[in-house]
Amino acid sequence: MNQKILALMIISIMWMQTTVAAIDAMELAMLKPYQDKPILYWDSVVGEPLSIEDQASQNYSLLDYMSGDQQKIRLHQGMQKRFYLPAYERIRLYNPDRQLKQNDIIAYVSNGSGLLAKASGYLSKDGHSFIISPQSSIPLIVDIQISDSEDKDHKTLDLDVLISRRELLNQLAPYPDLQWLAGQHVWLQSSFLAPQPYWTMLPYQPHYLSLQGPARIQLKHRFQYEQHATALFQDYRISYRLDDQPPRVLDFRTGAESSSQTRVNMQTQTLGRVLQTYLEIPPGQHRLELVADRTVYVQVLKQTENIYLLPWLNQPQLTLQQVRENNQLAQQLLLEMNALAQFMVRDNGRKASALTAQSLFEKAALQHSYYPQALADVRKLGGQYTFYRDLLPAVKQSSEDQFTAYFITKTLRAIRTRQEDPVLSKQHQSAALKRLGYAYFSPVAKKPGVDRYLLPNRLVETRIRLIADKRLC
């Protein structure tokens, strides 16, 4: 059958309840002096895992060779080379001997599904480098080839291939001081990690903690799924009160932990993913009260900065005291955009409010690349509050019928990390099956003419998703 089956989907809006993104205002403020001094490396690609040899490349007998400390690739017309590009990174194709032209190199990107999309690039000021910067939140595969030309000098092209790598700073002001709560603690453990002490917070039973300010604490918590809780996503609240002040409520939405098996006192349990929030304690002696509306395991950690050997040489440019005295905890754009995004995703009375919130938050996070947690929160925001809906062709060349089918989405994983199969409890099997991809598939005939899709009017940037039936490709 000389046709491919494609499903075209457009992202749409879905409203859910409140969530809280964990952005540490103190860490963000202490990293700010380094924002104009990014540590960026360009790593020469030498073999796997960044260089991918597939069967098509081997058929072309591609020649790689060493020149000094760089590994070069030699491309002939009709050849291609494939590389792995980590999320939010760039790939640079460099030729020191000749200036490149904008149309010399053709690049395609893929998320590993098999479908390729043409990627645009730009030339460096000196003209010797061609840079591709997809700004993708997930890893990509990049295919490189040279364009067809009658010019004999363009039949072959030697290139150095370099991939960017950001060297992020370690946590400047960590939370190493474990605060012990009243009552018996339990030991929580995930695969390949040491067990950690947590305290069980039963519904509406307060826990108290005495703290000497000024101080900052990190509240880590994991939701305990009841045996009858079959929904993958669960909502819960934790309220806190300092002394006699009115209580403040924090709303959370969590999903079941699927990256590894979790144990409580060596017994397997279904828990939510680790969520965290940060509380600032003013000067003086205070009593903190914590209350949850559902069963939650909680851990309280206190921040400290006196952890540096030879602190006059190694400590950050800003201290905790300086951040507080300069009132830098509140005056931060990323925090304001995060708060605005959290409000907008809950506003179901506005068209495309969730998409607008995700777009605004993502742009703010990209401006704060020195704080990678924000980009991780962007992905969570989009995954919980938006979904894709079918887009049917307005003009279809093939006479074959459309059909509906389930599909499984496969994505590239980050390299140099432990690869594990997802873990799913029995109580969530039915809910997980309902989350399988389901779409209309339309045949695309190999004949003159094109299929046309009419996009609805959108007020914000919209993502289009293509799914191909590989059985017919």
Contact 109, 142 (CB under 8 A): yes
Whole-prediction pTM value? 0.78
pLDDT band at residue 409 using 50, 70 and 90 as cut-offs: confident
pLDDT at 11: 45
- The whole-number average pLDDT for the span 152-156 is 68
pLDDT at 53: 60
What distances in angstroms separate CA 146 from CA 116, 149, 204, 467, one per listed residue?
Answer: 16, 9, 65, 27
- The whole-number average pLDDT for the span 3-16 is 50
Number of H helices, E strands in the chain: 8, 27
- The whole-number average pLDDT for the span 142-164 is 80
What distances in angstroms separate CA 327 from CA 218, 271, 281, 284, one per listed residue?
Answer: 19, 37, 14, 18
- Highest-pLDDT range among 285-289, 322-326, 410-414: 285-289
Chain-centre distance of CA 191, in angstroms? 22
Domains in the chain (CATH in brackets) are 1-38+329-473 (no CATH), 40-166 (2.60.120), 174-304 (2.60.120)
> How far apart, in whole angstroms, are the C-alpha atoms of residue 435 and residue 408?
10
- Residue 136 in this model has a pLDDT that exceeds 70: yes
- The whole-number average pLDDT for the span 274-290 is 93
pLDDT at 20: 43
Instruction: Quote the mean pLDDT of the chain.
Output: 80
- The whole-number average pLDDT for the span 212-224 is 94
User: For 34-48, 268-282, 292-306, 399-413, which range has the lowest pLDDT when averaged over its residues?
Assistant: 34-48
- The whole-number average pLDDT for the span 107-113 is 84
pLDDT at 98: 86
Of all residues in the chain, the percent with pLDDT exceeding 70 is 85
Q: Which residue has the higher pLDDT, 93 or 341?
A: 93
pLDDT band at residue 19 using 50, 70 and 90 as cut-offs: very low
DSSP string, 349-393: TSTTHHHHHHHHHHHHHHTTTT-THHHHHHHHHHHHHEEEEE---
User: For 82-96, 162-176, 311-325, 343-357, which range has the lowest pLDDT when averaged over its residues?
Assistant: 343-357
- Contacts of residue 159, defined as CB under 8 A and 6 or more positions apart, other chains included, come to 72, 73, 75, 93, 94, 95, 144
Report which of 95, 96, 69, 73 is spatially closest to residue 143, judged by C-alpha positions.
73
- The whole-number average pLDDT for the span 195-200 is 95
- Residue 227 in this model has a pLDDT that exceeds 80: yes
Q: Which helix (H) or strand (E) holds 445?
A: strand 437-445
pLDDT digits (tens, 9 = 90+) for 340-381: 777 777 676 666 777 777 778 888 887 777 787 787 777 777
Name the DSSP class of 451.
-
Contact 325, 315 (CB under 8 A): no
